[in-house]
A and B are shown apart, each in its own frame.
Chain A
C-alpha cells in the first residue's frame, strides 16, 4: 500500500493517509454456494421491503382495518341479547374474520408491494446495479420470490394474531358466552392448513404481480397486471358459468369446466374445505383438494418459469 496523499479529503488528510484508510478494512466475503447467496439476497430484499414507505403504509392500513372490523362487530354486539355477535369476537370465528379481512381487501396491497418490488427495479434503473454484482439473474428473481413468501407469512400471521387478540380484548367488555370447546389436535391441524392456504392465497397473487412487473419492466405493469387479474377472474368465472347455460354440447362442457382452472376458484375450494373442519361452514366444493393444489402449483411454476426466462434473456438497456 502506498501512503499517498491524493488531496481527496480534508478529513482523511487529518487522520491516516488515504491509501491506508482505503485498504484497512478487508473485504470479508460470505459463503458463495448457491443457497447461501440466495439467502443473503433474500435478506437483502426483505431489508429493502422493510425500509420502503409503501410497505410500512400497507402494514399500517392492514392493521388499522383489522382493528376497525372488530370494533364494528363490537359496536353491533351492543343490542345483541343472544350473544351471537359477541361470539364472532371470539375464536374460532374471530380467526376466520381476521383471515377473510386479510384476504379480501389486502390481496391488492400485496399485489402492489410485489408488483413494485419487481417492476420498481426496472422503473428506478436499479436492476443494472444488481445485475452487475455477481449473483445470477435467477438468484435475484428467486430472492424476490423468497422475500415475498416471507412477507406473506409474516403478514397473514400478524393479521391473524392481531384479529384474535383484538377480538378477545373487545369481547372482555361484553358479557360473552363461553365458547364451545374446539381446541383439539384436529382443529389445530386444520387451522394450520387454513393459515397456510391464506398465505398461499397471498403468495400466488404476489407471484402474478412479480410476473407482470418483470414482463412489463415497470411497477405499473406489475401492480396493474396483478390487480386486473385479481378483479377479472371472478367476472370471467361468472361469464363462463352463464354462457355454458346458453350453449350446448362440448362448448358448454368446456365453459363449465373452465372456472375450475381459475386461481380464485381453486383457492376458495381449498379454503372452504378447511373451513368446514374449523368453523363448520357448509359450502363444500366438489373439486378435489389435490386437483386444486395441482392447478395452483402449475400456475406458480408457469409464471415463475416465464419470468425467469425473460429475466435471463433480456437485455438491460435504459
Chain B
C-alpha cells in the first residue's frame, strides 16, 4: 500500500493545498486544490478574471499566496523555488523581452539567467529552438519590431530553451493566426509525447479539448471541476431528435420518458427544444408559445440507434437524429452557470463567504498511461 502511495506521490508534478490569494478584499484564488500528474497535458480553464494567471504566478513564485501551499515536483514553492524553477519553462501572459535586443540575443539572456553555460552547444540549442518556433529568419530583428505572434513564439522558445520537465503556458496562442494556433497545438502534443508535463491555461476551450487529457475549471477563484477531459465530455453528450410535427414530438417525448421509467437509465433527461419546421437544433423555445418539434435527449451518443428503434416500436419516425458529441465548451458553460447560481444563492443567504471548492480531487485520476 505504502509503495503504491509513494509511486503516486512521485507522479504528482503540481499539487496545491488550499491555495488562496487575496488582494485586499478581493479573493482572486480561493482554497484551490489542484493535482497535475506527470505527463499530463492539463488544461486550466476559466473566464477572464477567474484567477488562472494569479494561480500560475503563485506556482512560479511571482506572488505569494495569502494562505495554502503549492508543491511542484514534491518541493514546496515557498522554500525551494530556485530548484523548482530550474525544471520549469513558463510563458506568463503576453511574453515580454528586452525591446532593444534581437530575438536571438534575448534567448542568450534567458540562457544566462537559466544557468546555461556559455558554449557553442548553447548557441546551437538557441538556433534549434528558434527554428522550432519558426523565428530563425527573424532572429536578428530587434524585439520591438516583432508582431504579437512573433512575440508569442519567442515566449514559447524561451520556455523550451532549457528542456524543462514542466511547461506552464498561459494563453500561448494569444495573438497567433489560425495556422500559428494549429502549430502551437501540434507542438504541445509533441512535447507531451516526449514525456513533458504541460500546464495550459486558456480560455479557448476548443484548443484545450484538442490537446488536454485533464482539466480544471476555475470560476471567480474557486475550483468548480477537475478531472478527465473525456469524462467531462461524456457528461455533455446528447442526442437531438427532430420529429415531423409537434404531435409526434409530444408522443416521442412520452415514449422516451416511459422507456426511462422502465429502466433505460442511460436516458438522463429529455427536453423539448427547437421551434417549427426550420428550427435550429439546440436553440430552446422558452415560453415562446411556439410548437417544439425537436427533443434533446441527455444520453450517450452511441445510444442513437436504440432511441431510433424505441421510437419505431411506437410507429414514430424521426425526421432526423443527430448524436451530439460532448464539447468542452458546453460542459464549461454548464459548470460556470451552475457555479454562478451557486454563488448567487450563497450571496443571497446573508452574505456568506465565497463558495468552497466542490471539485473532487481523486489522486491519480486521469493519469496518462
Q: Choose, from A47-55, A158-166, A172-180, the stretch at the interface.
A: A47-55
Q: Give A41 to B124 CA distance when docked, in angstroms.
A: 21
Q: Is B234 an interface residue (CB 8 A)?
A: no
Chain A neighbourhood of B128, CB < 8 A: 21-22, 24-25
Complex Cα–Cα for A22 and B124 (A):
11
B187 and A6 contact, CB distance less than 8 A: yes
Bound CA–CA A160/B121 (angstroms): 40
Q: Does B63 contact A (CB under 8 A)?
A: yes
Q: Are A51 and B190 in contact (CB under 8 A)?
A: no
Partner of B163, one of A23, A32, A129: A23
Interface residues of A in 25-42 (CB under 8 A from B): 25-30, 32, 37, 40-41
Question: Closest CB-CB distance, B346 to chain A, in whole Å?
Answer: 28
| Interface size of A in residues (CB-CB distance below 8 Å) | 48
- Nearest Cβ in chain B — how far from A14, in angstroms? 11
Q: Is the CB of B85 within 8 A of A133?
A: yes
A-contacting residues, B135-167, CB 8 Å:
136, 158, 160-163
B290: interface (CB < 8 Å): no
From B99-107, B212-220, B250-258, B259-267, give the one contacting chain A. Answer: B99-107
* CB atoms of A2 and B90 under 8 A apart: no
The residues of A that contact B82 with a CB separation of less than 8 Å are: 134-136
- Per a CB cutoff under 8 Å, which of B88, B96, B100, B112 touches A40? B112
A contact residues around B132 at 8 Å (CB): 8-9, 12, 18, 21-22
A47–B106 alpha-carbon span in the complex (Å): 11
* Interchain CB contact under 8 A, B134 and A30: no
Q: Within the assembled complex, what's the spacing in Å between the Cα atoms of A48 and B98?
A: 9
Contacts of A52 in B (CB 8 A): 100
9-residue interface stretch from B35-43, B54-62, B235-243, B357-365: B54-62
Instruction: Judge whether A8 and B117 touch: CB under 8 Å.
Output: no
Mask for B159-194, Cβ within 8 A of A = 1, else 0?
011110000000000000000000100110110011
Cβ of A317 under 8 Å from chain B:
yes
Contact of B92 with A19 in the complex, beta carbons under 8 Å: no
B114 touches A134 (CB 8 A): yes
Contact between B63 and A316, CB atoms less than 8 A apart: yes
Q: Does A132 contact B (CB under 8 A)?
A: yes
The answer to whether A40 touches B115 (Cβ under 8 A) is yes
The CA-CA distance from A8 to B188 in the complex, in Å, is 11
Contacts of B92 in A (CB 8 A): 128, 132
Report whether B125 and A26 are in contact in the complex, using a CB–CB cutoff of 8 Å.
Answer: yes
Instruction: Decide if B122 is an interface residue (CB 8 Å cutoff).
Output: yes
A254 CB within 8 Å of chain B: no
CB of A63 closer than 8 Å to a CB of B:
no
B183's nearest neighbour on chain A, judged by CB, is A8
A52 to B105, CA, bound (A): 12
Q: How far is the CB of A6 from chain B (nearest CB, A)?
A: 4
Smallest beta-carbon distance B34→chain A, Å: 18
* Chain A contacts for B85, CB-based, 8 A: 132-134
Check if B100 sits within 8 Å of A53, measured CB to CB. Answer: yes
Q: Is B316 an interface position by the 8 A CB rule?
A: no
Interface check B131, CB cutoff 8 A: yes
Contact across chains for B117 and A29 when beta carbons are under 8 A apart: yes
Q: Check B109–A48 contact: CB distance below 8 A.
A: yes
A42 to chain B, nearest CB (A): 10
Contact of A129 with B96 at beta-carbon distance under 8 Å, contacts A21-B131, A44-B109 already known: yes
Closest to B64 in A: A315
Give every chain A residue within 8 A of B158 (Cβ-Cβ). 129
Question: Can you give 30 contacting A-B residue pairs, CB < 8 Å?
Answer: A6-B187, A6-B189, A9-B131, A11-B134, A12-B132, A19-B190, A19-B194, A21-B128, A24-B124, A25-B124, A25-B128, A27-B116, A27-B162, A28-B119, A29-B117, A30-B116, A44-B112, A47-B109, A48-B101, A48-B109, A126-B97, A128-B96, A129-B97, A131-B60, A131-B62, A133-B85, A133-B86, A133-B113, A135-B113, A315-B62
State the B residues within 8 Å of A (CB): 57, 60-64, 81-82, 85-86, 88, 90, 92, 95-101, 105, 108-110, 112-119, 121-122, 124-125, 128-129, 131-132, 134, 136, 158, 160-163, 183, 186-187, 189-190, 193-194
Q: A25-B124, A124-B99 are in contact. List 17 more A-B contacts (CB 8 A).
A: A4-B193, A6-B190, A19-B194, A25-B121, A25-B122, A25-B128, A27-B161, A27-B162, A30-B115, A32-B115, A37-B115, A40-B115, A126-B97, A129-B95, A131-B62, A134-B82, A136-B81
Chain A residues near B (Cβ < 8 Å): 1-2, 4, 6-9, 11-12, 18-19, 21-30, 32, 37, 40-41, 43-44, 47-48, 51-53, 124-126, 128-136, 313, 315-317
Shortest beta-carbon contacts, A-B, top 4: A125-B96, A25-B125, A30-B117, A315-B63
